[in-house]
C-alpha cells in the first residue's frame, strides 16, 4: 500500500480522502445528526494520517498503533452517542415490523 489511494496520479493521499469528508461535514452539514459524525471523522483522519506515514516509511509502526489507541476511546464514545440518537427511530421501526408480522398472522 502506498500513500496514494485511488487511481495513479489522481487519487490523492489516503488521509486526504478522509480529511475531505471531514471538511465537507464541518462546512456543509446542515442536519444536527450529520454533525454528530464530525468527531468520528476527526479520529479517523488521525488514524489515516498515521497509517499513511507508516506505509510511506516516514514513521515506524508504533505511530499507527499508538494513534489508534488514543483515538479508539473517542470513536467508541461517538458511536455510543450516535446509537443513543438513533435508538428512538430503531424502536419505532422494530415496533412497525412486529405489528406487521402480527397482522399477517391473524
Query: Mind listing the pLDDT tens digit for each residue in 44-76?
Result: 999 998 888 887 788 888 989 999 999 999 999
Tell whether the model's pLDDT for residue 4 goes beyond 70: no
In this prediction the pTM is: 0.78
5 secondary structure, DSSP code: -
- Classified as helix, coil or strand, 4 is strand
**What is the reported pLDDT for 5?**
52
Chain position carrying cell 478522509: 18
Residue 17 to residue 3: CA distance in whole angstroms: 11
Residue 61 to residue 64: CA distance in whole angstroms: 6
13 secondary structure, DSSP code: B
| CA nearest neighbour of 15 among 43, 42, 40, 52 | 52
Query: Mind listing the pLDDT tens digit for each residue in 19-42?
Result: 999 999 999 999 999 999 999 999
Amino acid at each position: 500500500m502506498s500513500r496514494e489511494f485511488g487511481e495513479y496520479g489522481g487519487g490523492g493521499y489516503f488521509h486526504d480522502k478522509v480529511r475531505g469528508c471531514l471538511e465537507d461535514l464541518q462546512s456543509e452539514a446542515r442536519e444536527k445528526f450529520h454533525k454528530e459524525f464530525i468527531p468520528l471523522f476527526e479520529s479517523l483522519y488521525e488514524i489515516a494520517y498515521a497509517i499513511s506515514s507508516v506505509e510511506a516509511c516516514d514513521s515506524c509502526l508504533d505511530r499507527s498503533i499508538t494513534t489508534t489507541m488514543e483515538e479508539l476511546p473517542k470513536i467508541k464514545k461517538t458511536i455510543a452517542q450516535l446509537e443513543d440518537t438513533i435508538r428512538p427511530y430503531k424502536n419505532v421501526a422494530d415496533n412497525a415490523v412486529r405489528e406487521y408480522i402480527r397482522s399477517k398472522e391473524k
